[in-house]
Chain A
């Protein structure tokens, strides 16, 4: 019998070896596949059950927090301000993942980043919540003003402190209520999600930083900067002929002025009246190379430096493209054709001019603070480029102030404050409507705020101009932002 018992031992050993092999397959070899399997909601459930840091504006208004609830999941992600910060915080959803800062700063909020996890050996033994809270640069008042000023118009408002790159407000309408998506009622969340996906106005995407549009005449600031820096123009020279059309080389189709009017003169005058014919000619004079360098310097064609996910890259066609397409260079110089920018990009442009030609990295997170109040990460001002020289910037600032005092951007004027700005009205292919733009900054001698307002046009909006439609919105936001930045 002993021989057979020994054989039996071997047999049982074989069975257990099979178990051991399979165990290794499941826990090691195939584990990654199981971990990322779409039916595996362990990580997300865990994410929802564990503590998570809050997100607050610079003045302490809480805009995202986790509250304890009864149920399968211990915590509910709540957005007390609803739609107001939907595109900033994003959402944290059981079914649909995360977006915005919830996604970009997940490691810190969830307490899984290395810096927060273990600060010292003693942390292993004391009671401590390792999650971190985000403090934003956004000012709650300015953000609310942006929403109120834009009203029910589709569009976006971005306000930046040009000295630091701190984003003071970033509003996009239509927006959505992220509470619907973070709800534990999965059926309701799915319904809300599908409705948002079906919505032709794409409320899930931020018009402020995730979409780009033809910037129209606001782009003339880039063309002017290129002309100044390239030595092709000064504020007073050359003086172009007053005309109602400009015909570029290689074509016989003329570029016309707004309302078929006639304009010309020096750079100051052409900016004041937003002269299409003059700037088209200036763009061709400056040349594709110089235009591309200036546009690139302001951030076009580079991934957006903002600290938010899925930010749109603003575009200006490459220099080589224009060699045989000079008429399109003329179009691009006045912000039409394929030139496209996000409102955030245009605010950065205004801010760079305001800050004497020095461009600061735009950011929304100012500080990451752990549960003990210790600052884990502090985001300071960071220079990301000098798109124009100091002297060109000074000339440009003076000319843009003139646009507000005597030109198309009068609606931006604020009593007792020196304001500079530039309007834009962009044609939309296949529609009679126009996009209305305005960019501006104040006070001119020491700018604390730069804004960009974009009002989306379509067949229903008709011909809306930057001065009439976008200007008053930007003015209101600027007044509030100037107040908010007095102490900064």
Chain B
């Protein structure tokens, strides 16, 4: 067993213990809010299932990507586990679904590792990914299958389940953009013209930026999903900058986003409302500002060490299982627990970007960057929304929030990162340089 896998196994055991501990405490208090508390009877089987699922994932990594980084999977497991224990505490019925989705997510993780043996194969299907990504993006708008829930049209109804295809679209589009940029990056980096003292890009090279901008506007306008729109566009612009080294891409991108956001603010009541709440949630604490104010009360009542799992009053926060699960964690696990969540994301980001730096293959490097940025920005946007650092936009907290599509997509994303990680290490040990 190499050192990565040994570390991974040890960390997985720790993550499982933390999960089971949180679950036991939450379950214990569920039976009577601190009074008459008893450890849930099924804690044994629960721990066995958690360990079983995680060990299965671990074995798959050993089998399919033995040289991959050993911390990514345990971090995801920890986030997933704490999130699950909180969902158990909030809503037993949702927890059952989340358990199934977690198992399916790990299955998707294993399947991705097994199927994608060489990350560069994905680049070959770039246009397929582009098409799939685009269709997934616009699917919720489609009649018949498209579903609107809570004012956002993000869902596609597939028989009994509602799927959020946007979660998968972000991966497909990252794959497409990475391979597209690897091919075009020299071109996109060069084409500048000098007007007076400043370098201005050729209009034709602005094409991709404009296309991405259009796509994210589409999402914003028709699906009313500010968070995903911001996330996709930001990821794209960052990847463009990483690939080309041209600082004006983020500049132009930022300007375009500002234009789009202003238009949206001007045009849509719900955007105006979000901004109003962000600027002053205390103006209307029982109406518009209710959710964020309740989140603040929850965080404040948590303090440093939290009320303890099951002992807070998070049932007052709307969307507590999904967008606002971070506030629930802050309340019941305190500043320490919330900091652990933030730290886990920082570690995932650091590891993901280190994987990108180490990768010798440009496509893999860009893809790893794109995937990591997507995950990192998504967590930042929603935590920032809950903490009122940004206007609130409803997206899930990766691995933590309730939501099948999100969980499945993020496990696939994780598998791709591990694949790239394995390859970069593999290349190094074999002393074979792969060029494209």
- Residues on A lying within 8 angstroms of B by beta carbon are 1-2, 4-6, 8-9, 12-13, 15-16, 18-20, 22-24, 26-28, 30-35, 37, 39-40, 42, 45-46, 49-51, 127-130
Contact = CB atoms under 8 A, between A and B. Distances in A.
A20 B316 contact: no
Interface of B: 32-33, 35-38, 238, 241-243, 245, 282, 285-286, 293, 296-304, 313, 316, 330, 334-335, 338-339, 342, 345-346, 349-350, 353, 356-357, 362, 365-366, 369, 373, 376-377, 380, 383-384, 387-389
A31 B38 contact: no
A1 B301 contact: no
Contacts of B35: 50-51, 127-130
19 contacts: A1-B243, A1-B365, A5-B369, A8-B353, A8-B369, A12-B373, A16-B345, A16-B346, A19-B380, A19-B387, A23-B339, A26-B299, A27-B302, A28-B335, A34-B297, A34-B300, A35-B301, A42-B297, A129-B35
B297 A4 contact: no
**A-B complex: 9 closest residue pairs judged by Cβ atoms:** A34-B300, A127-B36, A31-B300, A39-B285, A27-B335, A22-B387, A40-B297, A9-B353, A26-B299
A4 B350 contact: no
Contacts of A130: 35
B interface, by DSSP: helix, strand, loop or mixed? helix
A49 B304 CA distance: 24
B297 A19 contact: no
A342 to B, nearest CB: 39
Q: Which residue of A2, A15, A19, A28 has the most chain B CB atoms within 10 A of its CB atom?
A: A19
Contacts of A37: 297
Contact of B304 (A12, A15, A27, A35): A27
A24 B304 CA distance: 9
A42 B242 contact: no
Nearest to B388: A22
A37 B303 CA distance: 15
B380 A15 contact: yes
Nearest to A51: B35
Q: Which residue of A9, A32, A130 has the most chain B CB atoms within 10 A of its CB atom?
A: A9
B245 A4 contact: yes
Nearest to A32: B300
B380 A12 contact: yes
A1 B353 CA distance: 11
A123 to B, nearest CB: 11
B357 A26 contact: no
Contacts of A33: 300
A16 B334 CA distance: 18
A19 B303 contact: no
Contacts of A26: 296, 299-300, 330, 387
B300 A23 contact: no
A129 B33 CA distance: 11
Contacts of A35: 297, 300-301
A19 B342 CA distance: 8
Given A19-B389, A46-B313, A27 B334 contact: yes
Given A6-B357, A130-B35, A27 B330 contact: yes
Q: Which residue of B38, B373, B376 has the most chain A CB atoms within 10 A of its CB atom?
A: B376
Contacts of A34: 296-297, 299-300
Given A12-B380, A16-B345, A4 B300 contact: no
B39 to A, nearest CB: 9
B357 A5 contact: yes
Contacts of A13: 346, 349
Contacts of B304: 27-28
B30 to A, nearest CB: 14
A31 B362 contact: no
Given A19-B387, A23-B335, A27-B338, A4 B33 contact: no
Given A12-B376, A42-B316, A127-B36, A27 B299 contact: yes
B7 to A, nearest CB: 21
Contact of B366 (A1, A27, A40): A1
B299 A9 contact: no
Q: Which residue of B242, B300, B338 has the most chain A CB atoms within 10 A of its CB atom?
A: B300
A23 B342 contact: yes
A416 B171 CA distance: 98
A16 B242 contact: no
Contacts of B293: 39
Given A19-B389, A26-B299, A51-B35, 17 more contacts: A1-B245, A1-B366, A2-B357, A8-B353, A8-B373, A15-B380, A16-B380, A22-B387, A23-B335, A30-B300, A31-B301, A33-B300, A39-B282, A42-B313, A45-B313, A127-B38, A130-B35
A8 B238 contact: yes
Nearest to A31: B300
B372 to A, nearest CB: 9
A31 B380 contact: no
A20 B334 CA distance: 13
A37 B383 CA distance: 23
Contacts of B388: 22
B389 A22 contact: yes
